[in-house]
């Protein structure tokens, strides 16, 4: 008895089995159970990202830790470029981690380099209002070189403008006149070379005399110093003398006060007595001039008046 085979069922089974095998191979080829898991971070660049492509390498201190998942302009500010970075899970991305654009070798292929992230810094978190954690960025070497070259070119431009201003026709004429004057002075100096030599010889002698005078100034300075010390000592003595004079003046003031309070009244009384005595002497002198014999015979009594007698009357006589 012959067995009937359902070819349609067998064909379907073969197709399904082939599809499963192809899917399994593709899944294994893409990583399968060993496929790397990524965390998404965002970085905002303020410079051109020319040369940076999707799936460009992402390195952390030179170690591949991910790739660039997306590149697009900031819709609010087209001067900025937003990068979406796929970083392997477990990579220590911290708050002070910095992303920088770099180029690899001479090929010019750009990639993103991560640096920083010490142990003391906390892990990078998603801030409110953001979809992904935002990694800080730093200018690339090419951007820094461009800024430096721009500044240098600007300075060169200013220098060129200044040189053009300095080399104007007016300044050229002034320079020519100055060179002519210098040439005239050089000719004059050459014509008076002998006098200049004599002047140099005299200057040398003057310098020698000055050196000798400087050598002699040393003892003079010493004498001046000794004189200054003597004057200083004299000043100290004058200060002491002034203090003594002050004490003397104070004592004289006390004596004057005693004189005015005690001696002056006595002098006033003595002057009064002397005044009286001088008046008596003056009268005596006047009397002597009128009657000089009075010094020998004394003063004669005044003459008797009528009815007066110097002899006494006898007793019993009548007047």
> How confident is the model over 101-117, as a mean pLDDT?
81
Residue 315 pLDDT exceeds 50: no
Domain span at 104: 35-138
Q: Are strands 81-88 and 109-115 parallel, antiparallel or unpaired?
A: unpaired
**How many domains, in total, are found in the chain?**
1
Query: Does residue 171 form part of some domain?
Result: no
Top pLDDT among 55 and 172 is at: 55
Residue 251 pLDDT exceeds 60: yes
Q: Which among 132-141, 144-153, 250-259 has the top mean pLDDT?
A: 132-141
Query: Does residue 52 form part of some domain?
Result: yes
Task: Show the tokens assigned to 39.
Answer: 């965390």
Binned at pLDDT 50, 70 and 90, residue 35 comes out as low
> How confident is the model over 297-305, as a mean pLDDT?
57
Task: Show the tokens assigned to 166.
Answer: 């300095």
- Alpha helix (H) ranges present in the chain? 7-29, 141-166, 169-191, 193-258, 264-290, 294-297
CA atoms within 13 A on the CB side of 122: 4
Residues 96, 116: contact at Cβ < 8 Å?
yes
Residues 137, 46: contact at Cβ < 8 Å?
yes
* Cα-Cα-Cα-Cα dihedral sign, residues 5, 9, 13, 15: positive
Residue 7: per-residue pLDDT: 72
**SS3 state of residue 243:** helix
Q: Is pTM, for the whole model, over 0.85?
A: no
Residue 42: per-residue pLDDT: 93
Residue 58: per-residue pLDDT: 92
> How confident is the model over 143-170, as a mean pLDDT?
82
CA atoms within 13 A on the CB side of 26: 6
Task: Show the tokens assigned to 31.
Answer: 């990583």
* 267/283 Cα distance (integer angstroms): 24
> Which phi-psi region, left, alpha or beta, contains residue 168 (left: φ > 0; alpha: ψ -120 to 50)?
beta
Binned at pLDDT 50, 70 and 90, residue 278 comes out as confident
> How confident is the model over 52-73, as a mean pLDDT?
91
> How confident is the model over 271-280, as a mean pLDDT?
78
Binned at pLDDT 50, 70 and 90, residue 318 comes out as very low
Query: Does residue 130 form part of some domain?
Result: yes
Least confident of 137-141, 146-150, 219-223, 229-233: 219-223
Least confident of 6-10, 21-25, 164-168, 294-298: 294-298
**SS3 state of residue 307:** coil
Query: Does residue 131 form part of some domain?
Result: yes
| DSSP designation for 92 | -
Residues 204-215: pLDDT tens digits?
888 888 887 777
Binned at pLDDT 50, 70 and 90, residue 68 comes out as very high
- How remote is the C-alpha of 270 from its chain's centroid? 83
Query: Does residue 71 form part of some domain?
Result: yes
Query: Does residue 241 form part of some domain?
Result: no
Residue 308: per-residue pLDDT: 54
Query: Does residue 17 form part of some domain?
Result: no
The β-bridge partners of 241 are: none
Residues 43, 83: contact at Cβ < 8 Å?
yes
Residue 192: per-residue pLDDT: 75
Residue 104: per-residue pLDDT: 77
Query: Does residue 101 form part of some domain?
Result: yes
Residue 319: per-residue pLDDT: 37
> How confident is the model over 99-104, as a mean pLDDT?
87
For residue 73, the surrounding DSSP H or E stretch is: strand 63-73
Angle at 7 between CA 5 and CA 9, to 5 degrees: 100
* 277/265 Cα distance (integer angstroms): 19
* 69/115 Cα distance (integer angstroms): 19
Binned at pLDDT 50, 70 and 90, residue 114 comes out as very high
Residues 41, 132: contact at Cβ < 8 Å?
yes
Binned at pLDDT 50, 70 and 90, residue 316 comes out as very low
Task: Show the tokens assigned to 227.
Answer: 């004189």
Measured from the Cβ of residue 47, the count of other Cβ atoms closer than 10 Å reads 17
Task: Show the tokens assigned to 27.
Answer: 């899944």
Measured from the Cβ of residue 133, the count of other Cβ atoms closer than 10 Å reads 20
Residue 164 pLDDT exceeds 80: no
């Amino acid at each position: 008895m012959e067995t009937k085979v359902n070819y349609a069922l067998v064909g379907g089974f073969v197709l399904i089995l082939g599809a499963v095998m192809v899917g399994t191979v593709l899944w294994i080829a893409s990583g399968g159970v060993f496929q790397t898991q990524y965390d998404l971070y965002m970085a905002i660049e303020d410079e051109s990202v020319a040369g940076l492509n999707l799936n460009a390498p992402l390195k952390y201190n030179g170690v591949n830790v991910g790739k660039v998942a997306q590149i697009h302009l900031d819709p609010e500010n087209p001067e900025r470029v937003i990068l979406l970075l796929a970083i392997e899970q477990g990579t220590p991305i911290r708050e002070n981690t910095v992303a920088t654009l770099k180029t690899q070798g001479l090929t010019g292929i750009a990639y993103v380099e991560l640096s920083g992230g010490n142990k003391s810094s906390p892990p990078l978190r998603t801030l409110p209002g953001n979809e992904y954690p935002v990694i800080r960025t730093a200018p690339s070497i090419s951007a820094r070189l461009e800024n430096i070259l721009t500044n240098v070119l600007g300075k060169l431009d200013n220098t060129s403008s200044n040189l053009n201003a300095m080399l104007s026709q007016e300044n050229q004429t002034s320079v020519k006149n100055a060179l002519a004057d210098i040439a005239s002075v050089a000719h004059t100096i050459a014509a008076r070379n002998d006098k200049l030599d004599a002047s140099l010889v005299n200057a040398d002698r003057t310098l020698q005399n000055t050196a000798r005078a400087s050598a002699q100034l040393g003892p003079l300075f010493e004498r001046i110093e000794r004189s200054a010390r003597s004057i200083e000592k004299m000043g100290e003595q004058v200060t002491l003398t002034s203090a003594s004079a002050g004490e003397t003046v104070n004592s004289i003031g006390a004596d004057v006060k005693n004189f005015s309070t005690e001696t002056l009244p006595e002098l006033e009384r003595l002057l009064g007595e002397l005044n009286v005595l001088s008046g008596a002497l003056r009268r005596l002198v006047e009397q002597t001039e009128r009657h000089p014999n009075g010094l020998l015979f004394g003063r004669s009594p005044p003459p008797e008046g009528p009815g007066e007698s110097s002899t006494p009357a006898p007793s019993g006589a009548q007047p």
